[in-house]
Chains A and B, each alone.
Chain A
Amino acid sequence: GAVVSQHPSWVICKSGTSVKIECRSLDFQATTMFWYRQFPKQSLMLMATSNEGSKATYEQGVEKDKFLINHASLTLSTLTVTSAHPEDSSFYICSASGRAHEAVPDTQYFGPGTRLTVL
């Protein structure tokens, strides 16, 4: 139980284009979803927190106009990297927490991540 999927698992795009990453909770309702960025051999860096139906809360230093987050339903959140540049290349991970049989309260369950490469 408590499975989170993420799509795509990897993407390569040209500089200046936009890329959308989807995060879905498959067997529970995610009241809150989180987006992280991770550099090799480093810890996870929280980018933003989103609650269903409301605007995302961004961490200090994260450009909200560049990293657009939409939490349209209790099972889906999307991260759009707009006008991507090579410095946006990274590993992006989503997580979800919720209240349901499959999900333990106050616990984050993580998606498998998306590797973004911007040429």
Chain B
Amino acid sequence: AQTVTQSQPEMSVQEAETVTLSCTYDTSESDYYLFWYKQPPSRQMILVIRQEAYKQQNATENRFSVNFQKAAKSFSLKISDSQLGDAAMYFCAYYGSSNTGKLIFGQGTTLQVKP
């Protein structure tokens, strides 16, 4: 069975600085997708970034980028120029072809942004 692990329950970053959130996963599949979702205090889950496993190029979305290491099964999220609005709980998620559409979530990392 696939698993997703986020080993950092809490992280903090100074405004305008860069922070990296870690995520590792375990799977025997070769075809899958990885996601980072953000859940601010409003509790609305927001898609931050999506990575297809077959793509070697790391996905980027403005200030958000990932470091996808397929062999190491690592999928970290880098937030550059952190803003107060980035404060949220971040979830790493896995979707595989055998999952019938289900997402497997990590435990989440709470990010605090200090002014």
Contact = CB atoms under 8 A, between A and B. Distances in A.
A54 interface: no
B101 interface: yes
A110 B45 contact: yes
Contacts of B45: 44, 93, 95, 110, 113
Contact of A104 (B46, B50, B91, B102): B50
Interface string A9-32: 000000000000000000000001
Interface in A58-112: 91, 93, 95, 97, 104, 106-110, 112
B98 interface: no
Interface in B65-113: 89, 91, 95, 100-103, 105-108, 110
Nearest to B46: A110
A41 B110 contact: yes
Contact residues on B (Cβ < 8 Å of other chain), bracket: 20 to 34
B50 A108 contact: no
Q: Does more than half of chain A's interface fall in helix, strand or loop, or is it mixed? A: strand
A43 B33 contact: no
A108 B35 CA distance: 10
A34 B50 contact: no
Given A112-B44, A113-B44, A107 B35 contact: yes
A110 B44 contact: yes
Contacts of A97: 101
B102 A109 contact: no
Nearest to B110: A41
B102 A43 contact: no
A49 B44 contact: no
